[in-house]
Structure 1
Amino acid sequence: MTAELVRGQNHPLTGDRLEVRVAAERPVVAVATLGDADGAVRSRDRVAHPGSPVLPGLDVPRQPAAEHRLAVGLAALAEDVHRVYVALALPPAPAGPDRFGAFPAPVVEVAGPGGTPVVRYVLEGLDRESAVVAVELYRRQGAWKVRAVGQGYAEGLTALLHDQGLPEAAECAAEALRAAAGADGAAAGPPVPGEPAGSPAGAGSGGISYRHPGRQSTAAVATPPAEAGPADAPAPASAGPEAYRPVAGDATGWSMDERLYNQVWGMFEDLARSVAAYRSAVDFAEARLDQRLDEVLSDPRTRVGPAADAAREEARAQQAALLDQARSVLDRDLAQLAAEAEVVEHALPPAYARWDNPVWHAYQVPLERPLAVRLGDLRLPESDGLRIPMLVRLPLERGLWVDSGRPPGGVDPGLTDAGQRRRLAVECAVAVAARLLAVHPVGTYTVHVVDPAGAAGTALAPLREHGALKEAPAGARGVTETLERLTRRVDLAQMAVRSGVPDALPEDFDPAGQLLIVHDFPHGFDDRAVTQLRYLADEGPAVGVHLLMVADRAEARGYGPVLDPLWKSLLRITPVPDDHLADPWVGHAWTYEPPLVPAGSGVLDRVLWQVGQARRACGA
């Protein structure tokens, strides 16, 4: 559970590797300083900032952004470091706000080794301050704690560093802000389209900044013509996408896998905001056209005639110019993201890679579980084929549901043949299960299959034939026994955890993660089996038991609302592209594309053969 802190409160920390996450409504500069036992920062080599982002045990972002991730390794800090201060500063921005009180309060989270937030702190009460010490990690009697600080400085970063005892505070602050401005030339760009200068993004009817919050800009955004006024869209940048040279792993993290994971989701957030900015500009252009036309039509003297026609043409020309400007900026951002996606895709490990990625040709059964797994791709209508990997953290927080029903007006509503939908759905489930098996060390993950009617035999053949399954798929008679066994496993694990004796388990207890593929639900399931499925979906993920349902919700209508909690507890994916996923940032409807194996490819058989060989060699 995440602890909500207020100013002055503290909370204990566990583990050596932490991640400090910052979310703000405007790009901010992240700075971290290292203090001694007295809390003093004695020299500039104890300050991590965009111009010097890496210190032993500390890695801060290299440019201003609305969201940051700072990596902290407590065990790697020098012995005389007793405090780690995380500070935020507003970058130089003549056209934007120079105080934190001009936009909603930033939020800071500290996450533990597993990525789960430990504490959350909202920096409320800021006004004229342009720099603030957000949180402090401090050592007390050999243990580390985090304290919510929220100490702001109206005089800026220089005053903050001086207050911490840094002798060269002014020089260090100037270097940090100069490096931040150089890393993001658009930081001092024009006001947000459709928004008064100095107002927060997303407030009222304002727009959203065009700039990537976490990416280097290809060039500074040009100022709109004076005639257009501050509410118009910015002019396109002059530099082309070739000016941007992406690097795989260009994100914070303690391993390349973690850096790639953070980079992929940074790309996802960037695409979401870029498209939101474009849509906001389109809405503004249309609203402005309506306003100009209303002005022409409201006066009977200018309603008709050559002057009226000229006014209409001028209004439409201005709308077209705004749309062209907005599209040009979006195309620039898409080109930048496409270049980055091309580089990143080829650097992904098997757990993150598509099935057609060459990395699978060199696949070996891993020795450690990865940070996350790819469950498909995400795209937006405006993104012109740009796809962002959909990475989900491991272990899974909830089960999965492959919807074999007809999409209700989705991207591919023409798929009307029920048999074809079912076949694609089970193939999607097999591809997901095979990937989960492939990315776990041998013996740490077990897949069970329940197929009462035996209708999935052909699709399940790769799992059966290569020995990837621990046991044969359960038919109608095996449904009860399989569900009883997994339900008992969940009960035993929960009792052990709640009693504080996780090692006090029966000798026949299987500690491996469990995945149950349920095909063709609800056919062949009685009321007791339905109750057990709901129990496994709700309680199983916490102790390593997950469902992978292949089902058409419409066919389960006979159970009424009793199954609604089941569907809501599972992550719905589809065997065909469908726009059913929404992001938490701007609420886009993203098109999801399933992780199907390319037609005619033998990659699934090769990977499962190696998994089966490893299982047999270890007697798993």
Structure 2
Amino acid sequence: MRRGRAPDKGATAMTAELVRGQNLPLSRTRLEIRVSAGSPVVAAATLGDDRGRLLGPDQLVHPGSPALPGLEVPQQAAAAHRLAVDLDAMEDAVHRVSVLLALPGGAGGPARFGAVASPFVAVTGLDGTEIASYTLTGLDTESAVVALELYRRQDTWKVRAVGQGYAGGLTALLADQGLAGAAGIAAAVQDAVAEGRARSVAAPPRPPYGSGPRTVTQGAGPAIATGAVAPGEAASPPGRSAGPPVAASQEAAEGGPGARDARQAPGVGPVDYTHPARGSATPPPPSAPPDSPVPPVAGDATGWTMDERLYNQVWGMFEDLARSTAAYRSAVDFADARREQELDKALSDPRHRLGGAGEGARTAADERHGRLVDQARQALDRDLAQLVAEAEVVEPALPAAYARWDNPVWQGYQVPAEAPMALRLGDLHLPESAGLRIPMLVRLPLERGLWIDCGPTGLESAILVSPEELRRLATETAAALAARLLAVHPAGAFAVHIVDPAGTASGPLGPLLRSGVLSEPPASGAAGVSAMLARLTRRVDLVQMAARGGAPEALPADVDTAEHLLVVHDFPHGFDDRAVNQLRYLADEGPAVGVHLLVVGAREDAAEYGPLLEPLWRSLLRLTPVPDDHLADPWVGHAWIYEPPRVPPGSQVLQQVLAQVAAARHPWNR
């Protein structure tokens, strides 16, 4: 959870996947409701009293009237939506909020939910933590549905999965809600979607991108999974829940990803998410000639601060790249399958096997295949051009925690007064978009440890790297990540410890050792390793007991409240079974009480331990010191190529930053 902003009271990390009719108490009152559908849908909501009756015709929130106190819905039909809810800001008479989804009217779209992928709805906190989710299965002829409802019982808000569909569409749904003149109101809602009425919440206009603007999901950052990885984390993504992507064949025909909800800026409208101590607002977009694309704007997303807006914008770019690439790959697969079918059909006739008929059929099939692939590539190139333009304005605007080491923001670095909401661990890209890099951001504090794998990697470009060079690069990557974690936290709020059993890491870890940022020398030898692990294990135990007993003031004087990172070099060499078990304990229990692991080692070196180390490897987020395609997002399943955070050759930025961190730590080290 991010420091510097108080969490909602009673916030928990619990996530529930609801079934129809199931309910769950809500521990938060400021929420987001994320919708992912297989086709563009219209999102709306009604407000009811304690008996479930609609409070009045003006208590319908829809694209033509998108906001009421405590509630805001998108103003366009899109395959992905975000609804903002502040239950504390609701009027006292409101006891029920029903979230409605409807297929937009007009030709060209599906007429029933049964023809598209099942809609997925998730209720999250403002920090992206998923509280509950619900997949609306079993829909067939219905074209409108009550997805879920938030309702109040004895001053406690709950969420219930409803899934009530209406074959009569939005008119039948609104009539069932007790709304007089339902047909006219439903028509007005569809007209508002078709006409694209002016926003009630100001937001920079977005250029045409695919078939619609993009929604930004506030989650854990680009959602990444590796083996047992939960993007979010990075990866659902963490916080990101996997919703069905837009049908690829439809996207290929339309020239890009499915329609997406437009972004909305904070601080304006009935739901005010502006930080009380910061009056920042989204910068106005630069002017552009009529009928020309509007240039991208850094910070074009929702959030209390510019850092939050940039974080959400990076996540949106990740989503767009994943979606566009999925559409392109699906279109190519369709073209390949179609060519095979045409050739099988043509050559199944024995008459076509003689003379030039068979060759003519093959040529015609190849030409049609080429046209389909070219069309898909043109659509992807349009999307990539827009994303590249956006990256060019976003990258220079990133704060230090999100920026590459070559970003000028590090030249003006100062030790921060509070920790950021996320940290950049490297870059991500796909083979189809080699020129576009998406920052890999993970939320802070870290929810799981990191593992820098110095073993062989899968990409062909890494085959020529020797094992010795891989180990050196892995240790340098660990040093750069540890330095970044130190640099983005306030002075004294983060400590780094090093375990180096053989004492071989002095070269690659030199910047950390020489700068004075470490509170103690690296632990070496069996005795040093044992003492370090025992001390951190004791800290985890004591903090856990104090937290469970509600008595943090009872902690011994030698147990500080700072977060700790343990860098474990050349693992598992020099570690016995007891030390391995202690590391597993720290990996499982440490993150919740501020103790994190950064392990440098090769998995194949641990073969002698048998299955003992498998739980440890699975609990850590695997990174590589060279580009590798081992990271997979749980949304569309792409294998993302990860690139580590490299310090430019010959640059002194790392030493300069660590010198400032060490200088700021002096009052705590006396």
Find the aligned partners of 2:490 and 2:67 in 1 and give their Cα distance.
Answer: 32
Structure 2 counterparts to residues 160-179 of structure 1, below 5 A: 160-161=173-174, 163=177, 165=179, 169-170=185-186, 172-178=188-194
Contact 1:446 1:512 in 2 (8 A): yes
Residue 608 of structure 1, CA deviation: 1.9
Residue 532 of structure 1, CA deviation: 0.9
Match of 2:544 in 1: 494
Contact 1:576 1:593 in 2 (8 A): yes
Query: Taking structure 1 as the reference length, what is the TM-score of the superposition?
Result: 0.85
Relative distance call for 1:22 and 1:255 in structure 2 (3 A) is: farther
Secondary structure at the aligned position of 1:364 is classed as coil
Secondary structure at the aligned position of 2:509 is classed as helix
Which shows bigger deviation, 392-401 or 262-271?
262-271
Find the aligned partners of 1:361 and 1:552 in 2 and give their Cα distance.
Answer: 35
Structure 2 counterparts to residues 309-324 of structure 1, below 5 A: 309-324=359-374
Secondary structure at the aligned position of 2:560 is classed as coil
Find the aligned partners of 2:71 and 2:492 in 1 and give their Cα distance.
Answer: 35
Contact 2:79 2:261 in 1 (8 A): no
Match of 2:583 in 1: 533
The one-letter code sitting in structure 1 at the alignment partner of 2:112 is R
* 2:555 is equivalent to residue 505 of structure 1: yes
2:489 alignment partner, one of 440, 443, 446:
440
Secondary structure at the aligned position of 2:411 is classed as helix
2:386 alignment partner, one of 321, 336, 340:
336
Contact 1:57 1:76 in 2 (8 A): yes
Match of 2:20 in 1: 7
The one-letter code sitting in structure 2 at the alignment partner of 1:368 is E
Find the aligned partners of 1:610 and 1:49 in 2 and give their Cα distance.
Answer: 52
Match of 1:258 in 2: 308
Secondary structure at the aligned position of 1:595 is classed as coil
Relative distance call for 1:202 and 1:139 in structure 2 (3 A) is: closer
Secondary structure at the aligned position of 1:459 is classed as coil
Relative distance call for 1:451 and 1:251 in structure 2 (3 A) is: same
Find the aligned partners of 2:352 and 2:190 in 1 and give their Cα distance.
Answer: 56
Relative distance call for 1:322 and 1:114 in structure 2 (3 A) is: closer
What are the Cα deviations for residues 291-349 of structure 1, in whole angstroms up to 9, with x where unaligned? 22233322232323244433332222111111111111111111122222222223322
Structure 2 counterparts to residues 63-142 of structure 1, below 5 A: 63-78=76-91, 81-92=94-105, 94-142=107-155
Secondary structure at the aligned position of 1:243 is classed as coil
Structure 2 counterparts to residues 252-291 of structure 1, below 5 A: 252-291=302-341
Relative distance call for 1:120 and 1:299 in structure 2 (3 A) is: closer
What are the Cα deviations for residues 5-26 of structure 1, in whole angstroms up to 9, with x where unaligned? 3334432222342222223233
* 2:384 is equivalent to residue 371 of structure 1: no
Contact 1:28 1:91 in 2 (8 A): yes
Which shows bigger deviation, 594-603 or 164-173?
164-173
Match of 1:404 in 2: 454
Relative distance call for 1:88 and 1:530 in structure 2 (3 A) is: same
Secondary structure at the aligned position of 1:110 is classed as strand
Secondary structure at the aligned position of 1:115 is classed as coil
Residue 565 of structure 1, CA deviation: 1.4
Contact 1:35 1:83 in 2 (8 A): yes
Say how many residue pairs are matched: 583
Secondary structure at the aligned position of 1:548 is classed as strand
Find the aligned partners of 1:41 and 1:410 in 2 and give their Cα distance.
Answer: 60
Contact 1:60 1:252 in 2 (8 A): no
Contact 2:37 2:244 in 1 (8 A): no
RCO higher in structure (CA 8 A, sep ≥6) = 2
Residue 171 of structure 1, CA deviation: 5.9
Relative distance call for 1:93 and 1:121 in structure 2 (3 A) is: same
Secondary structure at the aligned position of 2:128 is classed as coil
Secondary structure at the aligned position of 1:359 is classed as helix
The one-letter code sitting in structure 1 at the alignment partner of 2:333 is D
Relative distance call for 1:416 and 1:35 in structure 2 (3 A) is: same
Find the aligned partners of 2:159 and 2:544 in 1 and give their Cα distance.
Answer: 30
Find the aligned partners of 2:398 and 2:63 in 1 and give their Cα distance.
Answer: 26
Match of 2:524 in 1: 475
Secondary structure at the aligned position of 1:520 is classed as strand
Contact 2:74 2:261 in 1 (8 A): no
Relative distance call for 1:360 and 1:82 in structure 2 (3 A) is: farther
Q: Which runs of 5+ in 2 are unaligned?
A: 1-13, 199-205, 213-242, 263-290
Residue 33 of structure 1, CA deviation: 4.3
Find the aligned partners of 1:35 and 1:466 in 2 and give their Cα distance.
Answer: 62
Find the aligned partners of 1:145 and 1:59 in 2 and give their Cα distance.
Answer: 19
Contact 1:201 1:207 in 2 (8 A): no
Find the aligned partners of 2:23 and 2:502 in 1 and give their Cα distance.
Answer: 57
Find the aligned partners of 2:657 and 2:60 in 1 and give their Cα distance.
Answer: 47
Contact 1:181 1:187 in 2 (8 A): no
Structure 2 counterparts to residues 419-458 of structure 1, below 5 A: 419-458=468-507
- Percent identity of equivalent pairs: 63
Contact 1:447 1:469 in 2 (8 A): yes
Relative distance call for 1:421 and 1:6 in structure 2 (3 A) is: closer
* 2:648 is equivalent to residue 598 of structure 1: yes
Relative distance call for 1:309 and 1:554 in structure 2 (3 A) is: closer
Find the aligned partners of 1:516 and 1:589 in 2 and give their Cα distance.
Answer: 29
Find the aligned partners of 2:209 and 2:66 in 1 and give their Cα distance.
Answer: 18
Query: Taking structure 2 as the reference length, what is the TM-score of the superposition?
Result: 0.79
Match of 1:209 in 2: 251
Find the aligned partners of 2:346 and 2:179 in 1 and give their Cα distance.
Answer: 64
Find the aligned partners of 1:491 and 1:266 in 2 and give their Cα distance.
Answer: 39
Relative distance call for 1:185 and 1:249 in structure 2 (3 A) is: closer
Residue 161 of structure 1, CA deviation: 4.5
Match of 1:237 in 2: none
Contact 2:95 2:152 in 1 (8 A): yes
Contact 1:15 1:113 in 2 (8 A): no
Relative distance call for 1:250 and 1:82 in structure 2 (3 A) is: farther
Relative distance call for 1:27 and 1:560 in structure 2 (3 A) is: same
Relative distance call for 1:317 and 1:58 in structure 2 (3 A) is: same
Residue 87 of structure 1, CA deviation: 2.2
Find the aligned partners of 1:57 and 1:540 in 2 and give their Cα distance.
Answer: 37
Which shows bigger deviation, 31-40 or 15-24?
31-40
Find the aligned partners of 1:334 and 1:469 in 2 and give their Cα distance.
Answer: 43
Relative distance call for 1:34 and 1:106 in structure 2 (3 A) is: same
What are the Cα deviations for residues 216-275 of structure 1, in whole angstroms up to 9, with x where unaligned? 89xxxxxxxxxxxxxxxxxxxxxxx96353333333444433333233222222212221
Secondary structure at the aligned position of 1:433 is classed as helix
Which shows bigger deviation, 99-108 or 391-400?
99-108
1:389 alignment partner, one of 439, 458, 461:
439
Relative distance call for 1:62 and 1:169 in structure 2 (3 A) is: closer
Match of 2:226 in 1: none
Match of 2:54 in 1: 40
The one-letter code sitting in structure 2 at the alignment partner of 1:447 is V
The one-letter code sitting in structure 2 at the alignment partner of 1:40 is L
Relative distance call for 1:382 and 1:504 in structure 2 (3 A) is: same
